Amino acid sequence: MTISMYAASVPVFKQMLGSLSDILDKAEVHAAAKKIDPNALLQARLFPDMFPLTRQIQVAADFSKGACARLAGVEVPKYEDNEQSFADLKARIAKTLAFIDTLTPAQIDGSEDRDITTSAGANSKTFKGQPYLVNYALPHFFFHATTAYAILRHNGLEVGKKDFIGKF
């Protein structure tokens, strides 16, 4: 039995983005209850050379919309990285989910052998669709989603594995 490219991508990104949004709700409530400046959490990092929470969420959203768009053969939406609050980050996630919802299985299935080129700064790399999804996009997405969770957990947010995994 095989799994479709759509099934291996869209539902996974939707599930995890939903859990990130729910965790951000809990972080906002936590900050208010503990009288913590929300910016302290939004700018928190696990280590000084790592991105803060806000950037982790932005990059997770970028990998999910980018992967789905590239697999579907459509233009990747561009978002400004100007989020400064929990509400802003939740709006970015909602906008990402809305975009992903516009893509159909027919657009993504069959993309296993599609040539996909990504670029980060001056570096670019070309993949076939399946290795791009499995070996590049999903691991990067999960790294940033996990790091966002870990930043909040490290800062006292009472969340666990069920919160991270979310609803499916």
In the block, residue with structure tokens 């053969």: 73
Instruction: Encode pLDDT of 139-162 as tens digits.
Output: 999 999 999 999 999 999 999 999
For residues 57 and 12, give the distance between their C-alpha atoms in angstroms, rounded to a whole number. 16
How high is the pLDDT of residue 135?
97
End-to-end CA separation in angstroms for the chain: 21
Assigned token pair, 98: 């809305």
Give the residue extent of every domain in the chain.
Answer: 5-165
Q: State the pLDDT confidence band at 9, using cuts at 50, 70 and 90.
A: very high
DSSP 8-28: HHHHHHHHHHHHHHHHHHHHH
| Res 1: pLDDT | 65
Predicted confidence (pLDDT) at residue 89 exceeds the cutoff of 80: yes
Cα–Cα distance, 116 to 125 (Å, whole number): 8
pLDDT of residue 26: 98
Mean pLDDT for 102-125 is: 92
5-165 maps to which CATH number? 1.20.120.450
